[in-house]
A and B are shown apart, each in its own frame.
Chain A
Amino acid sequence: MNLTLRIWRQKGPEDKGRMVTYPVDDVSPDMSFLEMLDVLNERLILDGEDPVAFDHDCREGICGMCGLMINGDAHGPQRGTTACQLHMRQFKDGDTIDIEPWRASAFPVIKDLVVNRGAFDKIIAAGGYVTAPTGSAPEAHSTPVAKANADAAFESAACIGCGACVAACPNGSGMLFTAAKLTQLSLLPQGQPERYTRVIGMVDAHDEAGFGGCTNAGECTVVCPKGIPLNTIGRLNRDYLTATTKGAGNTPGS
């Protein structure tokens, strides 16, 4: 296949940035999208040009490091698929493909297609854990967990922290990411003691990091490569309401 790529080039955080057109020839349908970019970069290096910087690592859809807006869709046209797992057989000869970084005020661009997603780590540091220092754990079978809860917790825990939800959201909200972790931990008995302090801590950190609020647009769940459901945000809201109105974080017996 022969394709025309239009790629966002930005030298650094202060640079204004612009779209640049690159033709690429002889693209095999068996290539992954990132392998197609590898081929372009090899050519750019040999031509003495600056290769396109993009984040990637595992290339099997699990580390969450890659993330590209492809023709305006976070991770591209195929549902349930990260950019690294997207293959060129999803495109056809002669296509023009726009490639841009995640655009959200909480994810500033570092260079070209690389953004800083450190805000996600800050949300986790503000409560996205169970306090269980090493060595303090009871025997694993002392607390059974209903299979339905364990399975649902797993579904939310499958979030890879790629940030597609934020990139797709008209408000640049990180609610789906935050809600996924909250849902996982609130469905498990181990997560109960910190349930309400957790939701306040994480939501506050989310807002401080510059993410927008959720208005139930639902774009996030459509692009989520792991299919995190929108009802996790409903759970977040319910817990947040309980925590803030009843002071559940600090009140015994609540």
Chain B
Amino acid sequence: MLKIENLHASVEDKAILRGINLEVKAGEVHAIMGPNGSGKSTLASVIAGKEEYEVTEGSIFLENEDIDELAAEERAHKGIFLSFQYPVEIPGVSVTNFMKTAINETRKSKGLEDMPAKDMLKLIREKSELLEIDRKFLSRSLNEGFSGGEKKRNEIFQMAMLEPKLAILDETDSGLDIDALRIVANGVNKLKSKDNAVIVITHYQRLLDYIVPDFVHVLYNGRIVKSGGKELAHELEEKGYDWIKEEVNA
């Protein structure tokens, strides 16, 4: 699904990622953990194709295709989805309208006609039920005045609507209370299949109780310094990151 080779990336000439290697296969869930400033969100943005980040070395392959030259929207069309840590507000654009545009633009890129209104409604109904979203919510302006929890739930709703191959959840657990966390995690789990993959970026192992990872990686100073199974997350929760830093710096 996703293969990252020796990825170096910088923003404003400041190197942030310094040689990432990662392979995510279809059907897998990977967790990326690490202390603040280690480059977790940067990695998510670089995979998604944010233009401020310059890839100085290395490559990203999606299903064996080098996507380095592709614009963010083209990567989205190919099935990359990023659940944002801080979703932006777009006043006056309803969640429904935004999703309709996103789905139809993706269809257009594949040479398909717009989705018939009937199907769109059905899809919206189905996915909003999955995430226990009130229909009234869907007519509100995108993220405007949303609580932290609503924003995150809305991100996962969008993921459900777009059915990506690779979903990257960037700190989706932050700002969620325990009930919202369960709903969101439940949604993600229901969407998981043998054909798609999920990368969960998180500080805490809390979310990983619900979305159980096959692999856990620790990012530090722009490199993956340790990988392991789900038990690594528990170890980090108990001992913090200092021992990892010591190991690396030793």
User: Are A and B co-members of a single complex?
Assistant: no
